[in-house]
Structures are given as C-alpha cells and as structure tokens.
Amino acid sequence: MTDVAIRVRGFSQFFGAVQKLNALDLDVRRNEILGIIGPARSGKSTFLCALNRLNDLVRGSRVEGTITIDGRDIYEPDVDVIELRRKLGMVFATPVPLPRSIFENVAFGARMAGLKGRARLDAVVRDSLERGGLWEEVKDRLETSGLKLSGGQQQRLCLARILAVKPEYILLDEPTSGLDPISTMKIEDSLRKLKKDYTIILVTNNTKQAARVADRTAFFLNGGLVEAGPTADIFTAPQDKRTDDYLRGRFG
C-alpha cells in the first residue's frame, strides 16, 4: 500500500469572487519529489501556498474541500498555522537572504525555534549547508554577509535556512527560474539527495527539470488538475491531449 503523506480532495481556493483552484484531487507520496507543471496562471503557486496556508494572508481567501497532511485536515480551526509552516518549509523563486552573515542566516530559524549553545548551532549550520549543497563553497567564510553570495548560492542558502528548522516537507516555487545551468544542477542534485528524508513538491515552469528530478508529475491548467502520474508516463504517454499539447509547446 502506497504511503500517502498529503491527500487533497475536492479542494478549491477562492480570493473574493475569484476562484483560483478548482476541486483538486491529488495524492502526494512520502519521500517522493512531485513535480507540478503548467502554464502561467494555472494555479501551481496558489496550490503550493495553500499547503502551508500562506494564502490565508490574502484578503478574501477562503477554501472548500480538504487537504489532509499526515492524517489531519490542515484547515481545521484549531490547527497551529505557525507549526504547519515550520513543518512545510518553502523556498521561493527569488532568494531572500537575511542581511546577516551566512552563519546567522542558517542559525536564525533554529534560534527562534529554541536551539541554544554554540556547539549545537555550529552542528545545525554545517549539516544544513551540507544538505543544501553549499558547505564546501562557504565553510571558510561563514561570517561573510549572505548578500555577497551569487544568486545560485543565495538560493541554496535559503534552502539550508529551511532545513535548519527541521521541516518534514519542502515546497519549492520555481527555485531555479533565475539561475544559470550550473547553479540549477547543484540544486537539483541536492533535491535528489534530500528526498530520502523529506517529501518534496517542486513547482517548475521548466518541463525538462520536472523530467530530470520528479518521481511523479502533475499537470495543472486553469486552476484544475488535468492529470498526475509517474513522470516517465506523463512525458511519454500522457492520458490527456491537453497535457500532450503543453509538453509539445503548442501552448503555455
């Protein structure tokens, strides 16, 4: 039996009178990389933000249906949203390092979560930077400002910052959209290693990236889920003509 970590059933997202997601049914399996593809304004990022309830911050936000994570509906009234957002760490398209040292960028969240003691912080910072694929490049300059890193390094720093607070899920919203091929490769390598310990959802406009790193792929269109399945099947034998048209570049 497949271990389903996230179960989405009949989930719709509204902002005022505007419906952005339409009755989604989707399962995310534990320790997989699920790639989400689709054209602009297809609902990919909206769905990602629904998973850790960032959409709550948008005026007029309301939902229908359920998203169940580890057996619990995350939209129940008594859900601890702060803890939910720690559990589902998110990396955005544009890296936003803190105006602090590399070390403090990574240690900041761990400190906020209550971790104390330099030795423990040192261990968390090193482990997080190693998992984020950045340690070897910055280990001799941890007191340098994170703002002085290259764009690709800053994105991996943001990934390390998420890892430092011990999430269970990693949500990535086009994390390599502004990066060069080498930086993109390094992040993709990190994701392949991380899925051993985390469930990862990767929103990407780069279909080739989904083909390279995703175990399964979901195709979104106009706020709805067209189809989802093993990545090889989606890219070689899609069940829906709209998926095939998108992958062949006929729209999007």
Closest-CA residue to 205 (of 245, 252, 238) = 252
Residues of the chain above pLDDT 90, percent: 94
Q: Indicate the range of 20-24, 53-57, 110-114 predicted with least confidence.
A: 110-114
User: Which domain, by its residues, includes 55?
Assistant: 33-62+80-247
Instruction: Provide the greatest CA pair distance for the chain.
Output: 57
Please, what is the Cα angle at 37 between 150 and 215, to 5 degrees?
85
Residue 92 lies in a domain: yes
| 60 class by beta-carbon count within 10 Å (0-12 exposed, 13-18 middle, 19+ buried) | exposed
Give domain status of residue 252, yes or no: no
- Supply the CATH number for residue 217's domain: 3.40.50.300
Tokens of 85: 């957002």
59 in helix, strand or coil?
coil
Nearest one of 4, 20, 190, 148 to 12, comparing CA atoms: 20
Q: pLDDT digit string (tens) for 102-160? A: 999 999 988 988 888 999 999 999 999 999 999 999 999 999 999 999 999 999 999 99
Give me the amino acid identity at 250. Answer: R
d(CA 3, CA 91): 25
The predicted pLDDT at position 11 comes to 98
C-alpha pair distances (Å), 66 with each of 23, 28, 135, 193, 200? 10, 14, 39, 30, 20
Output the pLDDT for position 114.
84
- Give domain status of residue 69, yes or no: no
Mean pLDDT of the region 206-218: 97
71 pLDDT above the threshold of 80: yes
Predicted pLDDT at 88: 97
What was the pLDDT predicted at 1?
44
Band (pLDDT 50/70/90 cuts) for residue 2 is low
Q: pLDDT by residue (tens digit) across 7-18?
A: 999 999 999 999
- Displacement of CA 196 from its chain's centroid (Å): 15
Domain count, the chain: 1
Question: For the chain, first and last CA: distance in Å?
Answer: 36
CB 24 within 8 A of CB 228: no
pLDDT digits (tens, 9 = 90+) for 74-91: 999 999 999 999 999 999
pLDDT at position 115: 84
Q: Is residue 99 part of a domain?
A: yes
pLDDT confidence band for 183 (50 / 70 / 90):
very high
Whether 54 is covered by a domain: the verdict is yes
Is 91 domain-assigned? yes
Rounded mean pLDDT of 195-221? 97
